[in-house]
Amino acid sequence: MTTLTATERRALRARAHDLSPVVAISQKGLTESVLKEIDLSLSAHQLIKIRVFDIEREERDALLAEICAKLEAAPVQHIGKLLVVWRENPATDAGAELAKTPKPAGKPAPRLTKKAAAARNSRVAKATPRRRTI
């Protein structure tokens, strides 16, 4: 089983937030076909979500450990009935960078200069009708 640092795990959890589950485990549990599907999904995507139905929490913990041990993957998160698993893909060079690079932040809005802010404020003041008080 691969281990991740807290920083790597946090970055992977952020990336996994928008993912949908690609594999579901239900009544029959972790069969060979389900394990093969998880392996294929990890090879294709490196980071996947797995939905688990009809299994109690302790059994889900054991299931996550078993998946990671058999597929040489790292557990990222277990929240409710969702398991998040990551495995580096040696076929791509960017595999190691996936866990180490944080999600890029958005570009900040440009700041107005004093002159531009004053011009904007004067236009707003002129366009707004004033109330007359008697």
Mean residue pLDDT across the chain: 83
pLDDT at 116: 79
Does residue 48 have a pLDDT over 60? yes
Strand order in the sheet with 74-79: 23-25, 47-52, 82-86, 74-79
Is the model's pLDDT at 71 over the cut of 90?
yes
Cα–Cα distance, 13 to 85 (Å, whole number)? 10
Cα(90)–Cα(70) distance, rounded to whole angstroms?
A: 17
Between CA 71 and CA 30 the distance in angstroms is: 13
pLDDT at 37 over 70: yes
Parallel/antiparallel/unpaired status of strands 82-86 and 47-52: antiparallel
Please give the helix or strand (H or E) that residue 65 lies within, else none.
helix 57-71
Higher pLDDT, 66 or 132: 66
Structure tokens at 97: 């960078």
Domain ranges within the chain, ordered by starting residue: 6-100
What percent of the chain shows pLDDT beyond 70?
77
What's the topology of domain 6-100? Translation Initiation Factor IF3 (3.30.110)
pLDDT by residue (tens digit) across 91-123? 765 545 555 555 556 666 677 777 777 777 776
